[in-house]
Structures are given as structure tokens and as C-alpha cells.
């Protein structure tokens, strides 16, 4: 099928949504689908020929981070030309509430629309204020996907609609096959802890890990922490407690192969995030690489880690509890190995081979519902035409009945059961009703409980962090 993917965030910088759109495009094309991508990016950015840049972006603070977006009349014209130039079977928008190219594509859409919501917000005055302005446009969305239960709850709370949960995808085999890097491999006396994330965003939790380190080092003086991610290293180093600074090594941004090897080398991978996470793609990446995972008990992380069976949880923001968990796992290698084994097995549920199949099934369900709805509408129109040909007398009788009892007399045989409605027609009717009333609509069974040059890599480049 012909699929249009729209990403609201700039492809000039790495980010989870950008990587998801990039990888989804690659895997859809691998299945033989015709895919075109639209996203903010500089016109001279090195992109595949199926990616259209929507123009340069501007930084905007959003959800504890800085998003690079593009909007305005020039961008709107580009988006409209892109939509008009493609005869999409499905237009798949990501983050349609973000003021960028996704919402512009929604306004211009002429094809059935599927939208994926990536954000988890407990409360948002901005979304509450903006919703009345975009409500009519959101009615154009035929199917909604959320990347986690936490993101789904945001859709329910702020949009008043439901969504099916389809998680982000990971190339599990690539991480599972990564060889440990001898430079990073630890030992019982000098275990290796790994943190991966943007170091200048407090919500990623580096300050929490730093605060836990003095207690960890008091018991395990040889432990070291490898920190990989974009951000101001000197500023981050200056915030470290003096007792922890000697044990922390900042690696900066790492390539995709380097990230996989780093995770494969970890005695523990630590995700001490404090909020604003709807999924946490690095968790299944770490699990796939065989790293035992320690993570804050954010709702999204609890889901990704199978309620704590595939990773060890601790109360978010509690550095003392984090230190206790780290020391307990370092003290018990067998427990650490069991946690790693559980994580490796659980990571396969996030493999792209499964995720892309669920996304395609969502597309097919929306298309089947739309086709069935069109057939029902055509049949109803034909029936009305046939009734109209029955003459003015029948129309008068119906008008009299409506004016009297409020309904026409029962037709012969009306007491018998009506003919059953075909399943696809019932699905179409439910989907149409759900769009009008914003009631929950399920597309398919819910299976849920970072290079500096940009998102599309040249050979040998990676995502970074």
C-alpha cells in the first residue's frame, strides 16, 4: 500500500520519535510498501529520496525537553503540496497535537488517517487550551495508536478518545548480537554501571544517579559509571558530588554500534528518569543487549519491564533506594543473571518484526472499515433512491406518520429479526460512531500491559543518545 509518514520533529537532530519514524519507514519498505516521509529538516540535509524536508525548524520547550518544530504559512504550503503530490492509501501522522507539520498534514489530509501518540503527560494546560481549536481536525483521524499505556491515558485524558497500544520497535537481533567492548567490561571488584540519555535534561535522571553514587562507592569503591549522551559535559560534570566525580566517565554521543556494545558491557544499566517518558526505547535496547536493567518506577517503565519481572524498579527520584538496589544486585550475581535472562526474553515483544506487523494490521483495519462504510453509505443512498421512486403517495404517508406517532407504521415482517450485518460493516459503523462521539475504538488486540548529523545515518554512523 502507499503510506505517508509525517514526523513533527526535525530530522536534523536525534530523538525517539524521529528514530521511530525512520525505522518504521525502513521496515514498511522492507515489506514492499511504498513509503514517503515528511518532516522538518534543512533542504540540504542528507536524506533518502523518499524523505521530503519541510523546512528548517526552531527550538521550542516542550514536555521537559526542547523540540525542534516548524510551522507557518510557508510550511503549510509545502505540506499541502506534498499531500497533493501523493495518492496515499493511508496517511500516518505522529504527534498530531504538536504544532508542527503533523497537524498541518491533518488539515490537508484527503486519505484515511492513522495517528500515533508518543507523549505521556499527567496534566497539560497547553493541551487543554489547544484542544477546542483542533477538535474538528481530530475528527478526521480514523485510527489512533499509542506507544504505551501511559501515552494512551494521555489520549483519553486530553483528547477524549481511545487508542490501541502498539509499542516502539527495536532491532532486537542487532543488540543481542553486539559484542562487549573490552574497554567497558567490568569485574566483581570494578563493576560497570551505564547511563544513556541526554545529560542536560534533568528528567533523564542523571542527578538522581549522581546523588546515589556516594553510597554505592562507599561499598564498592571500584565501581565506575559510563555516561553516554548529548549535552554539555563540563556543565554536567560540575554538578557531580565530589565523591562521585572520580567514578564517572562521560563518553558523549555514541554511534549505534557503540551504544549496543556499551549496553552489552554493562553489569547494570540504570534508567533513573523522573518523568515525561511515554515508553523508554533504551529499556528494550538494554534488555536485548543482555544488560540487567534498573529503572525508576514510572508507569511507562513498569509496562515496558513487565511489571518489574524484566527489570528491577525503584521509587523515582529516591537516590537512597536506587543505591540500595544497585548494591543488592552487585552483591548477588545470580540474581543479576536471572534479571538479564528475563530481559532478553521479554525484549522480543518489541522487535520490529512484530511491531511493523501490528502497524500494518492497523492500516488494513482502517482501510477495511472505510471501504465497508463507503459500501454501507452507497447502499443506503441506493435504497433511498428506490424508495423515492415509489411515488408521492408513499412520501405523504411517511410524512403523516412522522407528524403523528413520531414514526411510520411498521412494515410487513417488521417483527422478525433483521438480517445480520456483515462484520466489516459493523466495524465501520462502530468506527464512524466512535469518531462522532469520541468513544473508544480498538483497531486490534492490545498487546501492551542519535547521530549529530541527523536521524538518517550515513554508513557507519549511529543514533547517538
375 or 423, which is more confident?
375
H or E element that contains 66: strand 65-69
What is the Cα–Cα distance from 391 to 379, expressed in whole angstroms?
Answer: 20
CATH of domain 2-169: 3.40.50.2000
What is the Cα–Cα distance from 60 to 102, expressed in whole angstroms?
Answer: 16
Give residue limits of the domains in the chain. 2-169, 173-349
Q: What is the pLDDT of residues 382-404, one digit of tens each?
A: 666 655 555 444 443 433 333 33
Work out the angle between the directed axes of helices 16-30 and 352-388 (0-180°, nearest 10).
80
Strand 65-69 with 58-62, pairing = antiparallel
Contact 102, 95 (CB under 8 A): yes
Q: Same CATH topology for 2-169 and 173-349? A: yes
Q: What is the pLDDT of residues 418-447, one digit of tens each?
A: 343 444 444 344 344 444 333 334 454 333
DSSP state of 189: S
Q: What is the pLDDT of residues 253-264, one digit of tens each?
A: 999 999 999 999
Architecture of domain 173-349 in this structure: 3-Layer(aba) Sandwich (3.40)
Q: What's the pLDDT score for residue 61?
A: 66
> How is 275-332 classified by DSSP, letter by letter?
S--S--THHHHHHHHT--EEEE--HHHHHHTGGGTSSEEE-TT-HHHHHHHHHHHHH-
Q: Which of 132-141, 206-215, 429-438 has the lowest mean pLDDT?
A: 429-438
119 or 347, which is more confident?
347
122 or 289, which is more confident?
289
Amino acid at each position: 500500500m502507499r503510506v505517508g509518514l509525517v514526523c513533527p520533529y526535525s530530522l536534523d537532530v536525534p530523538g525517539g520519535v524521529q528514530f521511530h519514524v525512520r525505522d518504521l519507514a525502513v521496515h514498511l519498505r522492507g515489506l514492499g510498501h511504498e513509503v514517503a516521509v515528511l518532516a522538518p529538516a534543512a533542504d540540504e540535509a542528507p536524506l533518502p529520496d523518499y524523505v521530503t524536508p519541510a523546512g528548517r525548524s526552531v527550538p521550542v520547550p516542550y514536555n521537559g525537553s526542547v523540540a525542534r518544530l516548524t510551522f507557518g504559512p510557508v510550511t503549510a504550503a509545502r505540506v499541502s503540496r506534498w499531500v497533493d503530490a501523493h495518492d496515499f492509501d493511508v496517511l500516518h501522522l505522529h504527534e498530531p497535537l504538536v504544532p508542527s507539520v503533523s497537524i498541518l498534514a491533518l488539515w490537508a489530509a484527503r486519505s484515511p488517517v492513522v495517528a500515533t501518540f508518543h507523549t505521556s503527560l499527567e496534566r497539560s494546560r497547553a493541551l487543554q487550551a489547544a484542544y477546542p481549536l483542533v477538535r474538528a481536525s481530530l475528527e478526521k483521524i480514523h485510527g489512533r495508536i499509542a506507544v504505551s499505556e501511559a501515552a494512551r491515558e494521555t489520549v483519553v485524558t486530553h483528547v477524549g478518545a481511545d487508542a490501541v497500544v502498539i509499542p516502539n520497535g527495536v532491532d532486537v537481533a542487532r543488540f543481542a548480537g553486539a559484542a562487549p567492548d573490552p574497554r567497558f567490561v567490568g569485574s566483581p571488584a570494578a563493576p560497570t554501571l551505564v547511563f544513556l540519555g541526554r545529560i542536560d535534561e534533568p528528567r533523564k535522571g542523571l542527578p538522581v544517579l549522581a546523588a546515589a553514587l556516594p553510597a554505592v562507592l562507599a561499598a564498592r569503591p571500584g565501581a565506575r559509571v559510563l555516561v553516554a549522551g548529548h549535552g554539555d559535559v563540563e556543565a554536567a560534570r560540575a554538578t557531580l558530588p565530589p565523591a562521585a566525580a572520580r567514578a564517572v566517565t562521560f563518553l558523549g554521543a555514541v554511534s549505534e554500534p557503540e551504544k549496543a556494545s556499551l549496553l552489552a558491557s554493562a553489569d547494570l544499566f540504570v534508567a533513573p528518569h523522573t518523568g515525561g517518558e511515554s515508553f523508554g526505547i533504551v529499556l528494550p535496547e538494554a534488555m536485548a543487549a543482555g544488560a540487567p536493567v534498573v529503572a525508576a518506577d514510572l508507569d511507562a517503565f513498569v509496562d515496558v519491564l513487565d511489571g518489574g519481572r524484566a527489570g528491577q524498579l525503584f521509587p523515582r527520584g529516591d537516590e537512597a533506594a536506587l543505591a540500595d538496589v544497585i548494591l543488592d544486585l552487585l552483591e548477588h550475581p545470580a540474581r543479576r543473571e536471572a534479571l538479564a535472562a528475563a530481559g532478553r526474553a521479554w525484549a522480543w515483544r518489541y522487535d520490529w518484526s512484530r511491531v511493523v506487523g501490528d502497524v500494518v494490521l492497523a492500516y488494513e483495519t482502517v482501510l477495511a472499515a472505510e471501504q465497508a462504510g463507503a459500501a454501507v453509505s452507497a447502499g443506503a443512498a441506493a435504497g433511498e433512491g428506490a424508495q423515492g421512486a415509489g411515488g408521492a403517495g408513499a412520501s405523504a404517508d411517511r410524512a403523516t406518520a412522522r407528524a403523528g406517532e413520531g414514526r411510520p407504521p411498521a412494515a410487513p415482517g417488521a417483527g422478525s429479526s433483521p438480517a445480520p450485518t456483515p462484520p466489516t460493516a459493523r466495524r465501520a459503523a462502530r468506527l464512524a460512531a466512535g469518531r462522532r462521539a469520541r468513544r473508544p475504538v480498538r483497531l486490534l488486540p492490545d498487546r501492551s500491559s542519535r547521530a549529530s548529523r541527523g536521524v538518517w545515518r550515513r554508513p557507519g554512523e549511529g543514533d547517538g543518545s
